[in-house]
A and B are shown apart, each in its own frame.
Chain A
Amino acid sequence: MSVPVLEITNLHKRFGDVEVLKGIDLTMQRGDVVSLIGSSGSGKTTLLRCVNLLEDYEEGIVAVAGEQIGYRQQNGRRVRLREREIARQRAMTGMTFQHFNLFPHMSAIRNVMLGLVRTRKMPKDEAYATAETWLDRVGMKDRKDHFPGQLSGGQQQRVAIARAIAMNPELMLFDEVTSALDPELVSEVLAVVKGLAADGMTMLLVTHEMQFAHDVSDRVVFMQDGRIGEEGPPDTLFHNPKSERLAAFLKSSKF
């Protein structure tokens, strides 16, 4: 088997005295789509943020494409990588946020171009063309010169997806792409994500949209108090939950 795109081994994460991730193991192969579900505070966001080192982790290994993220082993000790190395590693994954986090002082296309020019060192015209292609792909080409403040939430999130995916990452991380959106804007964004999944993009996504998780995922992971409670194909997990907790959670999510 080839090197997994993501391999998480015994990941632990603490905020002060509180252990939020208590030993997570998760492996994803190229093209896998994995959804993280679970109740609020179970550690879904934190898990995503450890994958691109927006949060440091204390124990365990997060590896993307075979490379440990954030640390290296030296004489049996964990040493944090240098800033430049970490920046390079972060660009191996793309991420979208619940609240989009577009750069408000740049037009949509500039938002997408920034990483291409600064991180990928693409010439400006090539970056422009690439950005335009991706904006077209998410249905935002005709608004490419609009600023984030001039776009709806759904449009902003689609630009944010284009910004992440244009970097050609190994792995995409989506944190609740639709939870800040008005109900009528949800489907346009989910359609984009589904399209990317169909194209074979490797994706790890946190969602409260159970139907969407069911439709798009190869595997669903139920997080429970910082651990993986249950994991499996969507049909099994949603229709034959093994644990009381998952059954109760699914019921409360009106699936």
Chain B
Amino acid sequence: MDYDFNFAAVWRNFDLLLSGLGLGLVLALVSIAIGCVIGLFTAFGMLSKHRLLRWAAHGYVSAIRNTPILVLILFTFFALPQLGLRLGKIESFIVTLAVYSGAYLTEVFRSGLVALPPGLREAGLTIGLTELGTKVRITIPIMFRNVLPALGNNFISLFKDTSLAAAIAVPELTFHARKINVETFRVIETWLVASLMYVFACAIIAALLRRVERHLAIPG
């Protein structure tokens, strides 16, 4: 087989691919930030002594985890407007990804919380902190550091999931690659470059996360 590689058409559109990559990163970052908040509340819900809260938290997590993410994306974008909730495609995608990651992060945070020795909370209470105070000052900061590697993995897989936003025409990397592919017929070159961009971006994110982990690690 001999094939003449010609990347000229791809390079000409490289700035589009780059901007798509940037958008994907922003989408992942914003979504995981919101997802962290959702996940934290839901994790506490799961560990609550109120049955209704536990019930709601479990319901949310299993509903989301048992639905394909593409279906969630399409549902939010096409079905919610029918119910009167109109969102732009980017907002719609962020909502989906935040709710999606929230369900996975719930599990991360929940296991992080139950792994903490109960004595930490009690020590917080003995110096006069309230239950909320001990969560904010003690349990959450320690748990957060402990689950940072898992959080990083979630972020990377979430970043890759942003490629699914192409399905609702959010102009991220995959969307632009598909467009370039259709316009230039440089199929191999386009998808090769797009793939490598994902790979490099993930490698850089992973390296950055390791630095953050080292920086935040508890000494001793």
Interface positions of A (Cβ within 8 A of B):
52, 54, 83-84, 87-88, 90-91, 93-95, 97, 99, 101-105, 114-115, 118-120, 146-151, 160, 163-164, 167
- Contact among A83, A149, A164 with B127 in the assembled complex (CB-CB below 8 Å): A164
CB of B131 within 8 A of CB of A83, answer: yes
Provide the bound-state CA to CA distance between A99 and B123, in Å.
11
Q: Return 30 A-B CB contacts under 8 Å, by A number.
A: A52-B125, A54-B122, A83-B130, A83-B131, A84-B130, A87-B129, A87-B133, A90-B125, A90-B126, A90-B127, A91-B127, A93-B126, A94-B127, A101-B119, A103-B120, A103-B124, A104-B142, A105-B218, A115-B128, A115-B129, A118-B127, A118-B128, A118-B129, A118-B137, A146-B220, A147-B218, A150-B220, A160-B123, A164-B126, A167-B127
Query: Residue on A with the closest CB to B219?
Result: A147
- Judged by a CB distance under 8 angstroms, whether B145 is at the interface is yes
- Contact among A91, A97, A146, A150 with B128 in the assembled complex (CB-CB below 8 Å): A91
CB of A105 within 8 A of CB of B128, answer: no
On chain B, the number of residues with a Cβ less than 8 Å from chain A's Cβ atoms is 22
CB of A88 within 8 A of CB of B128, answer: yes
Provide the bound-state CA to CA distance between A104 and B133, in Å.
16
Which residues of chain B in 116-151 are interfacial with respect to chain A, using CB atoms and an 8 Å cutoff?
117, 119-120, 122-131, 133, 137-138, 141-142, 145
Interface positions of B (Cβ within 8 A of A):
117, 119-120, 122-131, 133, 137-138, 141-142, 145, 218-220
Least Cβ–Cβ distance between A91 and chain B, in angstroms: 3
- Contact among B120, B131, B133, B219 with A101 in the assembled complex (CB-CB below 8 Å): B120
Give the number of A-B contacts (CB < 8 Å).
81
User: Within 8 Å CB of A149, what residues of B?
Assistant: 218-220
